[in-house]
Amino acid sequence: MNFLLRISVLLLLLVLSSCQSERAQKTSYEEAPDHTNNTPQTKDYNDNRNVYFGDLHVHSSWSFDAFIYNVRTNPDDAFRFGKGEAIDHPVAGKIKNSRALDFMAVTDHAEYMGIMVQMLDEENELAQLDVAKRIKSEDRQKSIAAFGEIGISIARNQPFEQLIEKDIIYSTWQKQVEIANRHNEPGVFTSFPAYEWTSSPSIRTDPENAYAANLHRNVIYRGDKISEIPFSSFDSQDPEELWKWMAQQKSMGIDLMAIPHNGNMSDGLMYPKKTFDGRPIDKAYAQLRAEHEVINEVSQIKGTSMSHPALNPNDEFADFETYEFTFAAGTPPKGKPQGSYVREAFKNGLAFERQLGVNPYKFGLIGSSDGHNSAGPVEENNYFGKLGNIDGSPTLRLQIDGEGDVLRYSYMSAAGLAGVWAHENTRDALYDALQRKEVFATSGPRIKLRFFAVTEKLATDFTSDSGLSEAYEKGIPMGGDIYGNQGVPTFLVWAQKDPEGANLDRVQIIKQWIDKDAEVQEEIYDVAWSDNRSLNEAGVLNHIPNTVNVEEATYEKKYGAIDLYTEWSDPNFDKSLSALYFIRVLEVPTPRWSTYDAKKLGVDPPAEVPSSIQERAWSSPIWFHPN
């Protein structure tokens, strides 16, 4: 790996590994118009709710770690990409996905938001700073050294005072919000004001072997009522301090939520059994977390955080896009699985609820991208990477030029998507759906899925309009709670393929519960499947054939179903035991993005990752509580 690239990777680590600060941020709230209402705003309003797909995690050149890799597109470009337009990429030329999104948030890092771009503007006073002049130097070594100073200032929590003046932060943040507001088109495209809080505590600080954990959160606002300035890791790296600040903002009428992501890279710190400062989790902590983190992002470019083979050894589908590496300056070490994956967090949440009366890990699920090119590469056959000029071509991603693979590009994934069931495509309707957790995650395809619990039989098929109305009236959709005094639940499950994607293999219900010995258990049930297969004597469903032609990066479309529907009752239901249920939908096997890249280059796909994958979707859970 050449010297400049190694230094660049080290700088990226530095920007993501700042130390905890005792600095307190003072905020105020300037009254803004309130657009919240509970009446239909658009012609597509639907009492039974429509499904919308979006991305709540995109970075532009206003993020330091995008700018350093030569990304120059801005938040405005990012929203244009979300709306289906082509935008510039520093390596790939013009990039564009095949379909527009329904909603989106640009989540540039709060730390030095927009500062690098402003330094390029000779009319801006920041351009006159000594560090800015050296960043713009034609001497590449001087430029890298200046970037290093910026990174070190974040790592040591010693920011350049000129770069964190309140007026600069305020004006940049207001521009970010103004851009989001300008692109918001109720009924057509929803844009949320947002940013990323970038907590990445250092696990080891030795310069040759340093690595850091990921505790990042995206902070999403309902609409025009926003914080004066963002809360950043310069204020604190402790998520509990973020939640307390959010509680303060809510007390001033500002509606916002935090969405954690990449628990798989947290080295066990995203879903811990102790607080950030080592205290046992108590009821106050559990309530604070549950109130402010109602949604988690579980599938994105840096892998999927749902399951891990070491934590779910009896699940044949657990090893899916498990990017296990931490942030590191050299070859990144693998993090600890315990405390890093959602299914374990769900189980621990049940145990905490039994102990404390509150579940800190009671959240819904979404996917998103974390794209740093002002864009999210959702499609496997149209993959353009994550980080500008270091992974923007098949040659760079597959390391054909012989460079080192410090960031493990081949292990990275195509982007995920957030699926939301909302009455209409507006900020209020979508935000309300996120709050009630009627959302689901996909690994990229636009799979649709519905999931209800009912305690009385519906008069009609719930996939019909009248049946859906009855399901909403008498049942509980994904993200909700059902109680023992309501009766024994029957679960209604429906999944439909992406019209432009692969057919569906199967639908599974994953159940977790606390048994009579207070131990948390898990069981996976195949409940609907394609191609007239049947469960064998052991209750196992045979695999659907894998038809992927690796050399040609193609697959046959003769297997799988367009949609799958079933009504299912838990054969081991016990109304005295706490439990949760969620669904997982699998597509038939298709080529992975790395296989498409290999085909373009005429080389073998990388051996360290699968050549085919089974794309999937996960619903938010339904929680069952005893009487």
pLDDT (tens digit, 9 = 90+) per residue, 22-73? 333 332 223 333 344 457 889 999 999 999 999 999 999 999 889 988 999 9
In a domain, 1, yes or no: no
Co-location of 256 and 341 in the same domain: yes
Q: What is the pLDDT of residues 524-551, one digit of tens each?
A: 999 999 999 999 988 899 999 999 999 9
The set of residues, in sequence order, having a beta carbon less than 8 Å from that of 185 and lying 6+ positions away, is none
The yes-or-no verdict on residue 14 having pLDDT over 70 is: no
Residues 424 and 541 in one domain: no
The predicted pLDDT at position 440 comes to 99
Q: Do 402 and 472 share a domain, yes or no?
A: no
Residue 325: both structure tokens together? 């590496």
Please check the confidence at residue 151 and state whether its pLDDT lies above 80.
no
The answer to whether residues 279 and 189 belong to one domain is yes
Flag whether 371 is in a domain: yes
Q: What is the identity of the amino acid at 47?
A: D
119 located within any domain: no
Q: Is the domain of 422 the same as that of 517? A: no
Residues 497 and 545 grouped into a single domain = yes
pLDDT tens column, 272-328: 999 999 999 999 999 999 999 999 999 999 999 999 999 999 999 999 999 998 876
- Report pLDDT for 494: 98
SS3 string, 58-123, reads: ECCCCCHHHHCCCCCCCHHHHHHHHCCCCEEECCCEEECCCCCCCEEEECCECCCCCHHHHHHCCC
473 and 418 in a single domain? The answer is: no
Q: What residue has token string 């493990």?
A: 408
What's the half-sphere exposure (Cβ side, CA atoms, 13 Å) at 257?
24
- Domain end residue (candidates: 414, 441, 468): 441
pLDDT of residue 406: 53
Q: How far is CA 564 from CA 50, 387, 527, 568, 581, in A?
A: 19, 37, 9, 13, 18
In the prediction, which pLDDT does 9 show?
Answer: 46
Contact between 59 and 196 (Cβ < 8 Å): yes
Residues 419 and 482 in one domain: no
Q: Is residue 358 part of a domain?
A: yes
User: How far, rounded to the nearest angstrom, does the alpha carbon of residue 383 sit from its chain's CA centroid?
Assistant: 18
Q: How many domains does the chain have?
A: 2
- Alpha-carbon distance of 523 to 145, in angstroms, equals 53
Together in a domain, 583 and 609: yes
pLDDT-wise least confident of 192-206, 332-346, 355-369, 585-599 = 192-206
Summary mean pLDDT of the chain: 90
In a domain, 107, yes or no: yes
Domain identity same for 420 and 480? no
Of 403, 426, 441, the last residue of a domain is 441
If DSSP codes are grouped into helix, strand and coil, which group holds residue 305? coil
Number of H helices, E strands in the chain: 14, 28
Same domain? For 585 and 463 the reply is yes
Question: How do residues 247-284 score in pLDDT, each as one tens digit?
Answer: 999 999 999 999 999 999 999 999 999 999 999 999 99
Q: Are 410 and 601 in contact (CB under 8 A)?
A: no
* 407 has a pLDDT exceeding 70: no
pLDDT at 197 over 80: yes
Q: Domain holding 355: CATH number?
A: 3.20.20.140
- For CA atoms 523, 592, 83, 495, give the dihedral sign: negative
Any idea which of 22-36, 350-364, 398-412, 589-603 has the lowest mean pLDDT? Answer: 22-36
Give the burial string for 415-451 (b: 16+ CB within 10 Å, else e): bbbbbbbbbbbbbbbbbbbbbbbbbbbbbbbbbbbbb
Bridge partners (DSSP) listed for residue 299? 304, 367
Q: Is residue 274 assigned to a domain?
A: yes
**Angle at which helices 239-251 and 283-292 cross, to 10°:** 70
Whether the pLDDT of residue 18 is over 60: the answer is: no
| Whether residue 607 has pLDDT greater than 70 | yes
Where does a domain end: 395, 420, 441? 441
Which one is predicted more confidently, 478 or 69? Answer: 478
- CA distance readout (Å), 283 to 39, 248, 272, 363: 36, 19, 15, 17
CB contact set of 62 (below 8 Å; sequence gap of 6+): 74, 75, 108, 113, 114, 116, 117, 172, 176
State which residues form the domain around 372: 49-112+161-441
Asked whether residue 154 is domain-assigned, the answer is: no
Q: What is the DSSP string of 536-604?
A: -TTS-BPPPP---BTTTTB---SSSBSEEEEEE--TT--TTS-EEEEEEEEEPPEE-HHHHHHHHHTSP
The pLDDT of 595-613, averaged and rounded, is: 96
| CA-only gyration radius of the chain, Å | 24
Verify that 372 and 471 share a domain, yes or no: no
369 neighbors 418 (Cβ within 8 angstroms): no
Q: Is residue 500 part of a domain?
A: yes
